[in-house]
Every structure is written in structure tokens, then in C-alpha cells.
Chains A and B, each alone.
Chain A
């Protein structure tokens, strides 16, 4: 078990381009979360999956954002038509569902810079 893995670690893109990030959670963790962290702020919740089902989305997740977890394992977060305001660290976390609920373990994040 190597922890939560995110790819890429860094992404620089031009405004208007689409980007996709990948998250591989800890194996057997059925809950997966995406958070966004901007400079000098704490992480903010974006969305949550239980297995393959996306059960909750924050109002921060605009229509340009879409997340998937097709087989209940890895997840992708796509941002379409990127804007400079999308520049942030995108963090993925995973945990086990209750009653064996574990703490949320975070990956190292993908730092997105939109130029």
C-alpha cells in the first residue's frame, strides 16, 4: 500500500485549454474525495464518491468541472476551458466507509497553473 497517488504532480496550461488529473486511492478504500487548495487557504471540498457513485458535489464545482470514478477504483477530475482562477492545488483523499471508517488520507496533490 503506497498511499494515495496523484498524477501529474504539476500542470501548466494555457487559459481555455482542458486538463485532466488522475487519483489512485489506497486500495480497498471505497470513499474518494477531491479538494481544492489555493495559496494561503485550507483545502475546500469539491466532490465525493462512494465506490463509483458521485454522491455529493460542492457549489465550487462549476459546470466546467467533471469528476468520474468509473470502476470504483481510480478517479479523474477534468476541468474544461480553464480560467486563471482555476490555478490551485487539487488534492485527492480516500477513506473507508463506516462502520470501518478510517481517516481521510491525502495524496500529494496536483498543482495547476493556468497562464
Chain B
């Protein structure tokens, strides 16, 4: 059972365009939703995160939109740059108790072309 579904699998965007990646989750116990960026040969690095009590969070060119009723959230990368080319993972976490383990989506490979 895949608890976090991510789409699209790959995305090609022109420089300066907007990249949009979508995720949906099933477990309503999740209460924290981070996005990770991973470059080849590197471990995932936290990009931005949101809690379900807000509908949007913006940090620089990166924005998370969150729809609690639909159990969906998305990452928007404004003014996409070639340096943004990487694999992006959405994740979900339950922070009430326990291990705080992350449940990841399958990833989106973003290519930003000049």
C-alpha cells in the first residue's frame, strides 16, 4: 500500500518557467509534510515543509500548497533554473509520537532546460 503518491514521474520545464509537482496521501494521521531535493550521488536534503494547519508556505522561489480536505499537497518552483534539475520527493510524517519516520513518494525527476 503506497501511502504517498507523487506525480509526475518526470518533468521538463524551460528556464524561467514554473515547475509543479503533486502529492496525495492516505493516512490522515500524518501531520507534517516535507519536500526533499536529491542530486545524483547525494542524500536527500530538506527543501521546505508544511504543517496541515496552513494552506500555503513560501520560501524564496519554492511554495507548498496544501489541501487538507483533499489530502493533497504540491510543490511549485517559480522561475525554474537549470540548477534546480534534481529529483524531488514529497514525504509525510507523523509527529505525534513514535519514530517520526518519513514516508516518501516515488520521486519526480525535474529537468530545467536553458
Whether the Cβ atoms of A108 and B101 lie closer than 8 Å is no
Using known A-B contacts A103-B46, A106-B43, A108-B41, determine if residue A43 contacts B98 with beta carbons closer than 8 Å.
no
A25: CB under 8 A from chain B? no
How many residues on chain B are close to A (CB under 8 Å)? Answer: 24
> Interface of A with B (CB < 8 Å)?
4, 31, 33, 35, 40-45, 48, 55-56, 91, 93, 95, 98, 101, 103-109
Instruction: Apart from A40-B107, A104-B46, list 4 A-B contacts with CB within 8 A.
Output: A42-B106, A95-B100, A103-B49, A105-B46
Interface residues of B in 9-51 (CB under 8 A from A): 34, 36, 41-46, 49
Within the complex, the shortest CB–CB distance from A89 to chain B, in Å, comes to 8
When the two chains form the complex, which single residue of B34, B42, B102 contacts A108, counting CB atoms closer than 8 Å?
B42
